Each structure stands twice: as structure tokens, then as C-alpha cells.
Amino acid sequence: MSVVLIVEDELLELEFLKSIVAEELHPEDKLITCDNGIQAVKLAKQYRPDVIIMDILIPEMDGLQALQEIKKFLPQVCVVILSACSDFSYAQTAIRLRVQDYLLKPIKPSVFKQVFHDLLTTVADNKIDSDEEIVEQQTDQIYLIEKSLKYIHDNFKQKLPLQLVSSKVFLNPQYFSRIFKKEVGVSYIDYVNKLKIEYACKLLETTDYPAYRISSECGFTDPSYFNRVFVQQMNMTPKAYRRKHLCDSEV
């Protein structure tokens, strides 16, 4: 869907522009109009148009001032200036604001129609490029997270700081932490600790290793921290877990 905002205070001119724009729009597109600069800024914030057709000499705030405000929050919006003013200073300001076209009134219907058609094509192409970029970025993120998960599963029995794993997929640690939680659903440390505690449970069930050795086997450098994490996840100490497993096995 494309959103078009026409800012024009002359009624006949507005109807002329609306008639041409309406011919180019699809049913799902939205056309908004207003007749002053302050309202233009307000509507731009509300509807975030893809295309703005802006007169310069309009009430309350002139078109170029309004456009300056709009560009602060819609820097990529496509803009056509329509004006009866041929003053070069206006054109200079329009260029600085990166408008797509500056048309002098009166404008031939065929010329305006072609300009507007080209603008819609540009907007459509930009949206396709943006969508493709987003999809590609998401695909890259998923690939990198899958790669990091494989590395984690292969190495969780050793000390595995986030910085080490993020470096393996060439990502900034903070960014890696953020997308890891987004894609996996839990934080990096919680995911790694879950694997470590699952392995600790297996060792408690199948060996007579003391807790400090199991802590080391699971990649914890501090036995007391291992004990705290174990209790958080299993709601009992490693010793109690082993005792419970032995009791269950004898039943």
C-alpha cells in the first residue's frame, strides 16, 4: 500500500491534482489532502506518506518549512514541489531537502501524471529492495545463530563466555546476545547453563564423581556457582539429586 499526501490551498488546483493521482493509485492505496503547512506536518506524522506533493505558498507554515519538519522523521519520503514561484532560493532549498522534482505552475496534466507515475515506481522499487534486505538480514541471522548453536553444543563442557562464541560468528557480543535471545527464545547464559546442568545430571546418575569434579567436567570454574545454577534449575542440590536418583532406581 502506498500513502500519498497532497498539500495545496487552492481548491481548483487541489481537485486537479487529486483527479490525476487517483488514476494512478490502487484501491488499497490512501490519498490524504490538506491546505496548510502545520496540518501537513501533523498528517505526515500520523500517516507516514510515501509521496508528498507540496505547494510552497500555503497558510500557517510555508511548504518548505513544513518539509524541513517532515524530513526530520521521514527522511526517505519522495517529494514533488509544485509552485508558481520561480525564485531560485526556493529551488536551492528544495535541492538541499532532496526533493525528487520541482515543478512550476501551471503544470500540464500529462507532465504531472508522468512525474507522479515515476515517483510511485520509485517507491515500489524501494519497498521491494527494503523487503529483500530485511529477508536477507533475517536469513543471515538465522544462519549465524544455527552456526553458534552447533559450536555451543560441541563445546559447552568447557568454559564458554559469550564473547568467545560471538567471535566465532564474527558478531559484536551485544548484538549477538540480542539476536540469540530473539531467535532462540532464552538468553545465551541460560541456554548454555541448561546444557551444562543436563550433562551434570547425567554424570550424577552414571558416575560417583564428587560435585566439585562434576562442576569442572561441565565447564564451571567455581563449584559454588555450579551449585547455585543447579539448584535454580533443578530445585535441589546435586547431592540431593543423586540421592533421589538412587532411591528411584531401587524402587
pLDDT tens for 186-226 read 999 999 999 999 999 999 999 999 999 999 999 999 999 99
Find where cell 538412587 sits. Answer: 246
Mean pLDDT of 233-245: 93
pLDDT at 196: 96
Q: How confident is the model at residue 183 (pLDDT cuts 50, 70, 90)?
A: very high
- Going by the DSSP 8-state scheme, the letter that residue 159 receives in this structure is -
Inter-residue contact 204 to 242 (CB < 8 Å): yes
pLDDT at 106: 85
Mean pLDDT of the chain: 90
- Reported as type and span, the H/E element at residue 126 is helix 109-155
Same fold? 3-107, 190-250: no
- Residues of the chain with pLDDT > 90: what percent? 67
pLDDT at 173: 93
Q: Maximum CA pair distance of the chain? A: 96
CA–CA separation, 50 and 71 (whole Å): 12
CATH superfamily of 190-250: Homeodomain-like (1.10.10.60)
Q: Is 72 exposed, middle or buried (0-12, 13-18, 19+ CB in 10 A)?
A: exposed
Ramachandran sector of residue 222 (left: φ over 0; alpha: ψ -120 to 50; beta: rest): beta
- The residue among 85 and 4 whose pLDDT is bigger is 4
Q: Is the preceding peptide bond at 161 cis, omega within 30 degrees of 0?
A: no
- Going by the DSSP 8-state scheme, the letter that residue 101 receives in this structure is E
Q: How confident is the model at residue 69 (pLDDT cuts 50, 70, 90)?
A: very high
pTM as predicted: 0.63
- Encode pLDDT of 96-128 as tens digits: 878 888 888 888 899 999 999 998 998 888 888
Residue 251 has pLDDT above 70, yes or no: no
Which CATH number is associated with domain 3-107?
Answer: 3.40.50.2300
Extract the C-alpha cell encoding 204: 550424577
CA–CA separation, 50 and 79 (whole Å): 9
Q: Strand ranges (DSSP E) for the chain?
A: 3-7, 30-34, 51-55, 78-83, 101-104
Mean pLDDT of 230-246: 93
Judging by DSSP bridges, how do beta strands 78-83 and 3-7 pair with one another?
unpaired
Q: How confident is the model at residue 57 (pLDDT cuts 50, 70, 90)?
A: confident
Inter-residue contact 49 to 5 (CB < 8 Å): yes
Could you tell me the residue ranges of all domains in the chain?
A: 3-107, 190-250
Mean pLDDT of 8-25: 91
Extract the C-alpha cell encoding 24: 494512478
- Count CB atoms within 10 A of the CB of residue 167: 13
CA–CA separation, 215 and 209 (whole Å): 10
